[in-house]
Amino acid sequence: MSNGEPPAEAETHTVERTFTVREVRRFAALSGDDQPRHTEPDEEGRLMVQGLLTATLPTEIGGELEVLAHTMEFEFHRPVYTGETVTCTWTNEHVEAREDRHDLTAGVVCETDGGKTVLSGTVEGLVYRDRR
């Protein structure tokens, strides 16, 4: 995603992912969030994806854009289950140029392929002008 261009207001970026049972179980082991809903399949054979695993979608975009976040606020609207495709859209809402960086505020919305919002929020951070 990053092409070395400075961030611009109203610029959007998206990422899409379908979480797998293996990813949810690995995240459970890594994070310690190993509640039965994340480790034991429901009647449809799905696992509930951890909220913070879902929140890796906006962090993936931020990483690609080389954003160093200092504040992230997310609201979780409904659960995500393995096998569901989730698309996250990041929109730069405010960008302010500084001598050595760009400060930015971005809005994020993650939705299932059925159009249901699962996560929304705001990321505040910065992008250094010299991205090394």
> Distance (Å, rounded) from C-alpha 71 to C-alpha 62?
12
Range 26-51 average pLDDT: 94
Is residue 95 helix, strand or coil? Answer: strand
Domain presence at residue 48: no
Residue 1 lies in a domain: no
pLDDT at 131 > cutoff 60: no
* 89 in any annotated domain: yes
Residue 42 inside a domain? The answer is no
Q: Is residue 93 part of a domain?
A: yes
Quote the pLDDT of residue 5: 82
Q: Give the C-alpha separation, 104 to 97, whole Å.
A: 9
Query: How does pLDDT run across 63-118, given as a tens digit for each residue?
Result: 999 999 999 999 999 999 999 999 999 999 999 999 999 999 999 999 999 999 99
Q: Which of 3-7, 20-24, 85-89 has the lowest mean pLDDT?
A: 3-7
Residue 50, in any domain of the structure? no
Which structural domain, as residue segments, surrounds residue 119?
Answer: 12-18+55-128
Supply the pTM of this predicted model: 0.90
Number of domains in the chain: 1
CA 70, 75, 79, 85 torsion: positive or negative? negative
Average pLDDT over residues 37-63: 96
User: At 77, which CATH number?
Assistant: 3.10.129.10
